[in-house]
Structure 1
Amino acid sequence: MGDHTASDVASTASGVGAAPEGGWDVESVAAELLRCEDERREREPFTDEWPGLDLDTGYAIQDLNLAKRLERGEKLIGVKLGLTSRAKQQRMGVHFPFVAWLTDAMVLPVGDPVPQGKLIHPRIEPEIVFVMGERLEGPGITCAQAMSAVESVWGGAEVIDSRYSNFRFTAGDVAADNASSGAFVTGPIGLPPSEVDLALEAVLVEVDGVVVDSATGAAVQGHPGEALALAANDLARRGHAIEAGWIVLTGGMTDAVFAPPGSSTALHFTNLGSVFLNGGEG
């Protein structure tokens, strides 16, 4: 999974947003976000009190919290993109994608219900998922270069969550919150990228037996490979690369659907099989 250490990641978080504003700084926001996650406690966005919490400061907070996760025993296994589709951007009032971290603590075993006891207000979205065969390091990565580094393609579901009330946030807030990370699960079928047209790969979103949404891979930056390239280039700006063996969630193809206790969600992909999630118990 690469040779990232907590100190390596934490070093990228230093020197940004150092002057406290509204009582908050990088260190205190990072600590509060982890407390909110551990306590299943939502709050108002930090930018209500700290308008200087911009995107770069949010990423510094995100990197600091990754270091904290690694220190407590989690393993870095990949990255995720958030808000890559127009539907998601319009819903959240944000107009560009975000990159965030995946650790092994976010893996949801196949067949397990939505972990209601860990999450605040979970929502489910369908994703095209890559497993990387080669290291991918920006800047300047193109879609074709990105796809050449992919070993296999999967359908998947991300169970997003947010530490902010009603998913209300700015770009800095959501970057700090690891792009609303929660949990994720991959489907039953993995294919070489040459065997599936990802721009045309479709998904049907079914909730409690009713199809409520659909999309194709083109909803994700025109092609999921573009999202992968974007991630590699954005991470290069932050001093990181995508490592061989990592998992990459390329972003929700549709708007997310609520996943309350007792619900049933199915994501039916054209070639990548189906992913089933039940809402579990409250």
Structure 2
Amino acid sequence: MIAGGAPPDPVTRAAERLEEAHRTGVPCAPVRDLLPPGDLDAAYAVQSVLTDRRLAAGRRVTGWKVGLTSAAVQRQLGVDTPDFGVLLDDAAVPDGDEIPWGSVLQPRAEAEIALVLEHDLRHERHTVADVIRATAFALPAIEVVGSRIRDWDISAVDTVADNASSGAYVLGTRPVPLGELDLRTAGMVLERRGEPVSTGAGVACLGNPLHAALWLADTLVRLGRPLRAGDTVLTGALGPMTAVGPGDVFEARIDGLGSVRAAFGRAAAEGEVR
């Protein structure tokens, strides 16, 4: 800030706090104290500022994620609607490749169904049929959520500002047309080194992952940035997320979609340069 100039506005201050945590790898205090209470519009403005900085640095939008698709989590955070975040190219990790430890702060893993679009979704109000027609195929996915906010001490405002707590994501490699799937009843098992740590089904995601994609399509049109052909949509968790430790290996199996793996590097020893 220039000496004698006006102090940064609340959105800028919140963005700077989260950016510093991302840059240093040290989680920060919540940002809800900087923004009007419960103001999700301000939180999305913070998310946009941070996204614009990533794009200016050469990143590319590869799609979107839907969060807060569980009724229990919505009640916990005091909201009655999902949220969304932006997926960028540097967050995409190939199936089974190692995710360096520390690249995602306070990581947790959850299994999801990803939809990859073949057509834009630009209507003011979409139907489930529109979403189905626009989808090229589905893939199993593991989303590695992370929080720049210390100890996951988050409200809805905090997680929205923090890009819906996005970290990294891993997609399976066997595309499956929607006509071969029943996403509502698709069962999921997430294992850590062969031991089940989370189970669920498509119905846990707003009743059907297609409902989450529909909500996202309508929401983004209202904001003037519709879903486009080629976008990947992470539709939301099929079961509880689980904490991640150094060296962990996760595999998610989803009925009809096959499996996907996420592997994490070990933590650096004290004094070791990684």
State the TM-score, normalizing by the size of structure 2.
0.89
Give the Cα–Cα distance (whole angstroms) in 1 for the partners of residues 38 and 54 of structure 2: 22
Give a deviation string over 1:159-192, Cα, whole Å, max 9, x none: 0001112222222221111000100011132111
Change (3 A) 1:255 1:92: farther
Selected match of 2:211 from 203, 226, 231: 226
- Deviation at residue 53 of structure 1 after TM alignment: 5.9
Paired letter, 2:115? F
Deviates more, 1:251-260 or 1:133-142: 133-142
8 Å contact kept, 1:218–1:224: yes
Give the Cα–Cα distance (whole angstroms) in 1 for the partners of residues 143 and 77 of structure 2: 17
Give a deviation string over 1:137-176, Cα, whole Å, max 9, x none: 2431122211211011011000000111222222222111
Give a deviation string over 1:22-53, Cα, whole Å, max 9, x none: x7611222232122112112122111344446
Change (3 A) 1:251 1:161: same
Superposed, 1:115-264 pairs within 5 Å as 115-264=100-249
Give the Cα–Cα distance (whole angstroms) in 2 for the partners of residues 25 and 260 of structure 1: 34
Give the Cα–Cα distance (whole angstroms) in 2 for the partners of residues 237 and 29 of structure 1: 24
Alignment pair present for 1:48 and 2:33: yes
Q: How many residues align?
A: 262
Selected match of 1:75 from 48, 60, 68: 60
Give the Cα–Cα distance (whole angstroms) in 2 for the partners of residues 24 and 259 of structure 1: 35
Give a deviation string over 1:46-73, Cα, whole Å, max 9, x none: 1134444610111111112111111000
Paired letter, 2:237? G
Selected match of 1:37 from 22, 29, 33: 22
Change (3 A) 1:81 1:92: same
- Deviation at residue 91 of structure 1 after TM alignment: 5.8
Give RMSD over aligned pairs.
1.9
Give the Cα–Cα distance (whole angstroms) in 2 for the partners of residues 88 and 63 of structure 1: 24
Secondary structure of 2:191's counterpart equals strand
Secondary structure of 1:203's counterpart equals strand
State the TM-score, normalizing by the size of structure 1.
0.87
Deviates more, 1:198-207 or 1:175-184: 198-207
Secondary structure of 1:157's counterpart equals strand
Name the residue aligned to 2:271: none
8 Å contact kept, 1:127–1:252: yes
Deviates more, 1:176-185 or 1:112-121: 112-121
- Deviation at residue 240 of structure 1 after TM alignment: 1.2
Paired letter, 2:150? S
**Which consecutive residues of structure 1, in runs of 5 or more, have no partner in the other structure?**
1-18
8 Å contact kept, 2:17–2:28: no
Change (3 A) 1:40 1:92: farther
Give the Cα–Cα distance (whole angstroms) in 1 for the partners of residues 155 and 36 of structure 2: 10
Give the Cα–Cα distance (whole angstroms) in 2 for the partners of residues 263 and 74 of structure 1: 28
Paired letter, 1:277? A
Paired letter, 1:279? F
